[in-house]
Amino acid sequence: MRGALVSLAATALFAGGALAGRMIDGRLAADRASSDNSTYDYIVIGSGPGGGPLACDLARAGYSTLLIEAGDDQGDNPIYSELGNFNTAGNDPDSRWDFWIKHSDDPVREKEFAHYTYRTTNGSFYVGTEPPAGATPLGIQYPRAGTLGGCAMHNGGVCSLPQDDDWNIVVNMTGDTSWEADKMRKYLIKVEKNTYLPANTTGHGFNGWLSTAVQPARWAHDNTLPATRVLKKMAELTGQNVSDVANLVNQDILGDYPHKDTLNAFYNMAQHEDKGGKRSSPNNYIKATLKDPKNYPLTVRLNTLATRVLFADSKNTTTKIPQANGVEVMSGASLYGADPRHTNANVTKQGPVSKVWARREVIVAGGAFNSPQILKLSGVGPAAELTKFKIPVVKDLPGVGERLADNYEGSLLALGQQPVGGGIITLMFKSPNATGPNRNIFTWCGAFSFEGFWPGFPTDYGPNEYECAMVHINPHSQAGTVRLASADPQVPPDINFNFFLNNGTEDLQHLAEAANLLRTAWQAAGAPVLPFNEKHPCPGTGAGNCTDADERALLKTQAYSHHASSSCAIGAENDPLAVLDSKFRVRGVHGLRVVDASAFPRVPGAFPVLPTIMLSAKAAEEIISDAKKGTQ
């Protein structure tokens, strides 16, 4: 969900005047110089699901907009454009940024993670718990995408909506009723180009830029399949109509059902792709905006590392509130230290530094890791941390980089004696002893293997593999941090999610209960699939081959994640850790906003890409409204 800070090449899509759309490769000196020291109405840092659509919307509204992207353009590369290649895309060094994160402050626990990664003495990776002599510990891989379109270019494309409470929390914190859940749906309608429902179906959009599609689930009509037997048992265990499962698995996951957040229900998983399996992402919207014959005033700079936001004193001599008025950038390929090519001998380690200027506002959209880093490098963040790195304090804002949140993820993975068959089962349900009315588990089951991230993921266990991957929605602990490791903008920050630090026992119990329910459903597969040889969380073939305590312990050390949010969160005015107000404005300064997943007060549902795109559309509406009123 980022795209803020560098990677490889592209060329101008077409020539134009000063306000015509164009894309500039940061390595082309003439083109770069033409935008250095230039002034735009808005500068957006990061082209992912937050920043990319926002820049397009601002340009389409007639405002000259510079979009700064740290990566290149991989939009025509089949590894990225074909959504089915997402695992390959996630491993591709042409876009991959390797963040080596921690799950806790306990080094022993960290190295119990099965895919903990080391750098060996010959420069290769070792993944596992028994590293060779001399290997340097790196951490747990958390790849982000450094390319035009951000992480929407390497993800699995899953589209789901947050619970109503995830929108309404902003209303409760700030009093801004525009965030009410029933009002937020208009942004889905605005951005969506639905391909799987009859035109004009209520609650959906059909003329937006983001295509959504589903896969046929005809297999669920075949009662001879082991997968269908498993499906029916899942229905029984979650209180659904067993005789109607073939229809239930085609339910619209983006539908606006009464009491939808409390329902145990199957769905057909929607993805941001067209009917032909082509990925639909901000990359497409950016290029469509650049190519439009209306010559919208959008300029895109690739291979451009945003190093800090620039400030001037406010024109109001009474308040002296700092005013964001530009961005310092460094031009070149693979400048950021998380880029695996950064250490290559043929890569320039530092590029030329220049400045670009904003008449109206600077919008940071680097994602949950890079947005707090950019703010801190710019002097906006906890004063003690900035002082430690000799960064002049522009605004002491203690919440920057705090309250980092993520869903917990785990997986029930086993090998059958024969393939289970069928297709993907998507199920949202409430674990048996979860508190509150809302469901808390999103699971998708099928013949695949996904166990988190490490160099070269995933492991292919062959045709007999079967998995239910689980996302724990709205975990109780939100105690992660993004802290500077250096004042050098090329050095990635220190990231610690502090998994299970608060109420961890409760969350682990919910995950274990979900795994137990799914494991029970698997037994319905029958012969010749059974017995399943479980890989994790309870290895072996016996029904009771690990205790609840064992299962919780294994889930604690092996949980993973890839939905980071909330490190620059919206919050109440009297909250000392609030970074943004409800209009995405950074508190205590003028002309600066953050628009990406870091703005959410908590992780928005199971998968944040679609909520972040909706958030971007809301931000565009707010910014354009303020511009027309002259109240930035």
Per-residue model confidence as pLDDT tens digits over 107-166: 999 999 999 999 999 999 999 999 999 999 999 999 999 999 999 999 999 999 999 999
DSSP letter string over 367-389? HHHHHHHHHHHTTEE-HHHHHHT
Query: Tell me, what's the pLDDT at 9?
Result: 29
% of the chain surpassing 90 pLDDT: 89
Query: Tell me, what's the pLDDT at 476?
Result: 87
484 Cβ neighbours under 8 A, 6+ residues apart: 373, 376, 377, 385, 388, 389, 493, 494
447-502 confidence digits (pLDDT tens): 999 999 999 999 999 999 999 999 999 988 899 999 999 999 999 999 999 999 99
**pLDDT band at 3; cut points 50, 70, 90:** very low
On whether the CB atoms of residues 285 and 272 are closer than 8 A, the answer is no
503-537 confidence digits (pLDDT tens): 899 999 999 999 999 999 999 999 999 999 999 99
Walk me through the domains of the chain, giving residue ranges and CATH numbers. 22-77+281-402+565-629 (3.50.50.60), 218-249+407-558 (3.30.560.10)
Query: Considering only CA atoms, which of 144, 8, 21 is closest in space to residue 76?
Result: 8
Beta strand 380-381 with 395-396: parallel, antiparallel or unpaired?
parallel
Query: Tell me, what's the pLDDT at 316?
Result: 54
On whether the CB atoms of residues 197 and 188 are closer than 8 A, the answer is no
What phi and psi values does residue 94 have, to the nearest 5 degrees? -70, -10
Asked whether residue 567 carries a pLDDT value surpassing 50, the answer given is: yes
65-97 confidence digits (pLDDT tens): 999 999 999 999 999 999 999 999 999 999 999
Asked whether residue 594 carries a pLDDT value surpassing 90, the answer given is: yes
d(CA 40, CA 38): 7
391-442 confidence digits (pLDDT tens): 999 999 999 999 999 999 999 999 999 999 999 999 999 999 998 999 999 9
SS3 of 50-119: the string is CHHHHHHHHHHCCCCEEEECCCECCCCCHHHHEHHHHHHHHHCCCCEEEEEEECCCCHHHHCCCCCCEEE
Three-class SS of residue 469?
strand
Asked whether residue 10 carries a pLDDT value surpassing 60, the answer given is: no
571 Cβ neighbours under 8 A, 6+ residues apart: 173, 174, 399, 577, 578, 579, 580, 601
Q: Could you tell me how many residues make up the chain?
A: 632
Asked whether residue 19 carries a pLDDT value surpassing 60, the answer given is: no
The stretch 231-253 carries a mean pLDDT of 98
Beta strand 22-24 with 298-301: parallel, antiparallel or unpaired?
parallel
Three-class SS of residue 210?
strand
Stronger pLDDT, 350 or 427, i.e. the higher one: 427
Query: Tell me, what's the pLDDT at 346?
Result: 73
On whether the CB atoms of residues 492 and 483 are closer than 8 A, the answer is no
**pLDDT band at 6; cut points 50, 70, 90:** very low
220 Cβ neighbours under 8 A, 6+ residues apart: 228, 231, 245, 246, 249, 422, 423
Query: Considering only CA atoms, which of 201, 86, 99 is closest in space to residue 152?
Result: 86
Within a 10 A sphere around the Cβ of 563, how many other Cβ atoms? 22
On whether the CB atoms of residues 587 and 581 are closer than 8 A, the answer is yes
d(CA 519, CA 414): 10
Query: Considering only CA atoms, which of 500, 348, 479, 472 is closest in space to residue 410?
Result: 472
The stretch 220-234 carries a mean pLDDT of 97
**pLDDT band at 314; cut points 50, 70, 90:** low
% of the chain surpassing 70 pLDDT: 95
Query: Tell me, what's the pLDDT at 17?
Result: 34
Mean pLDDT of the chain: 94
The stretch 203-219 carries a mean pLDDT of 97
d(CA 465, CA 560): 20
Within a 10 A sphere around the Cβ of 34, how many other Cβ atoms? 14
Asked whether residue 317 carries a pLDDT value surpassing 60, the answer given is: no
| Token pair recorded at residue 85 | 């290649």
Asked whether residue 15 carries a pLDDT value surpassing 60, the answer given is: no
